Amino acid sequence: MTTIKDRLIGRLERKEAVIGIVGLGYVGLPLMLRYSEIGYRVLGIDIDAGKVEKLNAGRSYIEHIPAERVAGARDAGFEATTDFSRVSEVDAVILCVPTPLNKYREPDISFVIGTVDALKAHLREGQVVSLESTTYPGTTEEELLPRIEEGGLKVGDGLFLVYSPEREDPGNPDFETRTIPKVVGGHTQSCREVGVALYRPAIDQVVPLSSTRAAEMTKLLENIHRAVNIGLVNEMKIVADRMGIDIFEVVDAAATKPFGFTPYYPGPGLGGHCIPIDPFYLTWKAREYGLHTRFIELSGEINQAMPDYVVSKLIEGLNQRGKALKGSRVLILGIAYKKNVDDMRESPSVFIMERIRDRGAEVAYSDPHVPAFPPMREHHFDLESVPLSPETLAEYDAVVLATDHDRFDYDMIRAHAQLIVDTRGIYRGVSDERVIKA
């Protein structure tokens, strides 16, 4: 006798299943494109009517995702909607919604809970629900499971629940959705089997884990590992600078060791939707067990202090030239959180801009990927990107190199800027009194 599980796995393997993706941002949109391009019909659901309208018109709103791919998916049957009731039409429900921190640096899983609450009345037998949002261990079982079972469906029997953390790296040319291995943890063994069947056609390597909690912890370990190591090298940067040593030269040299060392480079602070946020999910959950995550909290303190360190180096550089920060004109080079993308989430550049503005300086920015400062919940600037030229560079008392986009002409910047605060090691090894390493 064919079970519900077997029928669902069969539909997934034969590409007869309809894939539903809830949340069409930096994670959901590439995943939609991947499933569409390998022959699945995909339904996208998002609360943002503007995004839905653009996608249905075949347009993209993420710089590194070409409109041609979106139009191709639409022509192949992809459709976007704001109607959550249509989740009943799909066989797989993949949740790619944000999990930020609130103002107390505690997990805000309201987007996940709100999404599940909007979907739960429309779930049916024979579906798999996969959560991809980064969260603390236990979220899938403690928050999703009871809500999904409210209507009488039994997870592991009639409906299947998995956790499979996203691992997108926007703007990284070396990896794409297909080539990044996919961790999958199921609530039951049957859930895991269905989860593997969901992702195996789309991803080169699927890594099954024993539980959703192990998969949730895996994602946190990946990001905590990075946050702690960046915190370490940022602290080393301060020590090296005080000793007159170039930390970038040191890291480059250490990286020649073929074992036991992984290079991490310092910067103006952490940015993006993962590294500055996710470690605090474990910090918060660990308190429930009477534990204090000292490494995580210490690295967070160091990394959050980096914008202030950059501003202190800017003040130092201006002082050497007989100028005060108040009344100076300062140009920030790059306001995206990492090179070659248009993603502004948690960007340290914005915190640097606020600190400079609050100290009485006139602040402007140049970023070829962000033509106008976007609306943000906590940061407000009415600015547009300044085009870089020898004339505009010379107009500013200092430029702060915050994001090392490839499209910047670094030779021109160095030739015409009055003062450069280099937070990315672009001018490592350069002996120039106008270049301040920060």
Number of H helices, E strands in the chain: 16, 13
Rounded CA gap, 413 and 404, in Å? 12
Rounded CA gap, 412 and 336, in Å? 21
Which phi-psi region, left, alpha or beta, contains residue 105 (left: φ > 0; alpha: ψ -120 to 50)?
left
Rounded CA gap, 71 and 58, in Å? 4
CB 241 within 8 A of CB 437: yes
Structure tokens at 99: 């999990």
Cα 235 to the chain's mean position, in Å?
23
Where do we find the tokens 């210490």?
A: 298
**Among 144, 215, 240, 274, which one carries the catalytic annotation?**
274
Structure tokens at 91: 């066989």
Map residue 45 onto helix, strand or coil.
strand
DSSP-derived secondary structure letter, 155: B
The per-residue DSSP string of 271-313 comes to -SSSTTTTHHHHHHHHHTTT---HHHHHHHHHHHTHHHHHHHH
Residue 191 is a catalytic residue: no
Map residue 12 onto helix, strand or coil.
helix
Structure tokens at 292: 């204090």
Structure tokens at 43: 């339904």
Structure tokens at 207: 């890594």
Rounded CA gap, 337 and 349, in Å? 7
| Torsion 60-65-70-72 (CA) sign | positive
- CA neighbor of 409 nearest in space, from 423, 389, 435: 389
Phi, psi dihedrals of residue 342, rounded to the nearest 5°: -110, 20
Residues labelled as active-site residues: 274
